[in-house]
Amino acid sequence: MSKSPEEIHPTKAFGWAARDSSGVLCPFKFSRRHEIVGVVTEVGCKVRRFKVGDKVGVGCMVGACHSCENCNNDLENYCPKLIYTYNATYHDGTRIYGGYSDVMVANERYIVLMPENLPLDAAAPLLCAGITVYSPMKYYGLCESNLHLGVVGLGGLGHVAVKFAKAFEMKVTVISTSPSKEKEAIEQLGADSFLVSCNPGRMQVATGTMDGIIDTVSAVHPLLPLICLLKSNGKLIMVGAPDKPLELPTFPLLSGRKLIAGSWIGGMKETQEMIDFAATHNITADIEVVPMDYVNTAMERLARADVKYRFVIDVAKTLTIT
């Protein structure tokens, strides 16, 4: 007879979860095994990399097959059997509930050691947003000081991309549909210039000036104006996820030997590298810390893009058992 989740993982946890199709979160008691940060309270007998008291984080994934080519090359994020941190099923068949709770258990392979100088709240979003933009910048060579990088969208991903690019000593141009974001892009985040993508005149002036572009936008949008901003051999890297197919113009790619590619978070080795780089350059996400019982309001505001630029839930101080 198979064991129940309570028998397999006897640790009792309390958290918040969506219990029905409404999506509204409410208190939830469960037995268990987002980007989540905290302090190690207990380690298993085979754990070697971490000790009680370490500040650590868990990103978007908690498991993979560990035997495929991707896993063997520290690319667990591309494993066909990738197990996400939330709303997934673990190897043993038990449910994975994410991090909106008082405790969490994870395999040490999927844990990141947080440097002492990084505040846990402002560093937590880097485990998703940070690695999502850092990985393609490194892989596609868009991290050299003599290059010009465009960042499309100034949201949770985009604002971190600007910070990493400036740490790489690149020239950075933010590309946005919102003119109102120009001041914060330049004065607060340090971008060198700002382009309003729906202004044909300004876009025309910038034609052929960028070595690469990181596109963080998940809404449907035209690619042709972005491709035209690239120099010959330029690279447009998609990290946003529009819910409908985008039109792909071929001739502008052919005429400049340009590349459109994609990237999806990053492997655990690279995630640790990213966090260490962030600590060295004092890079954190811009956040709004909220209590646990504010989570449903935060979800509503998130849907309206009413946050700069990431919500962080203070679980330890505000999660109360009812």
pLDDT at 14 over 90: no
Residue-wise pLDDT for 235-255, tens only, equals 999 999 999 999 999 999 999
The answer to whether the beta carbons of residues 37 and 57 sit under 8 Å apart is: yes
Burial class (CB in 10 A: 0-12, 13-18, 19+), 322: exposed
pLDDT greater than 70 at residue 4: no
| Positive or negative torsion for Cα 24, 28, 31, 32 | positive
pTM: 0.89
- Express each pLDDT in 115-163 by its tens digit: 999 999 999 999 999 999 999 999 999 999 999 999 999 999 999 999 9
Calpha distance 242→160 (Å, rounded)? 20
What's the token pair of residue 44?
């298993």
What domains sit in the chain, N to C, each tagged with a CATH number? 5-127+286-318 (3.90.180.10), 129-262 (3.40.50.720)
